Chains A and B, each alone.
Chain A
Amino acid sequence: GAGVSQSPRYKVAKRGQDVALRCDPISGHVSLFWYQQALGQGPEFLTYFQNEAQLDKSGLPSDRFFAERPEGSVSTLKIQRTQQEDSAVYLCASSLEGSYSPLHFGNGTRLTVT
């Protein structure tokens, strides 16, 4: 497709369950980012990939959060043993390589942990 695609759009998980969120970036985009957006706030950086290499994971809030991009295209954000504070919208963005290219965001996955 022409844009960044994320699935599922909505996910409800019971506390303690594991979840996996998928991101399909724009074809040819080297850089891929995950952001977390709480209600009424701007997105917060979680992690960054350049191709398949995870170069920055400084924003991941705990070791329950894990992201991968094994073939340098599709990425998965996994959250283990979900907690209520994990409830948020998870946004994926991609861009061409480098610092001069705009970020293109998907519509996000809204995660609700009950």
Chain B
Amino acid sequence: GQQLNQSPQSMFIQEGEDVSMNCTSSSIFNTWLWYKQDPGEGPVLLIALYKAGELTSNGRLTAQFGITRKDSFLNISASIPSDVGIYFCASKDAGKSTFGDGTTLTVKP
């Protein structure tokens, strides 16, 4: 099946720092989705992207759909302790979604 490669695998940052993570694929996608999973909970959708080149913001989060349609990045500005969790990228593919392995974010106060 299709694979999404997320990087970095984990990040340890200081509160207030900006964060960037990305997701790449060898396949072209029409949709990119970014989810956040709090410890012990189910993932929640943060941002959905539907058009190549699209740049979308949700509060301190910004995500972009790569122009080649094979990648996407997610930025978090001015991180706070509640940003801790696992961030997943996902693609929508004919009835099911493929998820990346996630980026685990730790924020030190």
Query: Do chains A and B stick together as partners?
Result: no
Residues on B close to A: CB < 8 A? Answer: none
Residues on A close to B: CB < 8 A? Answer: none
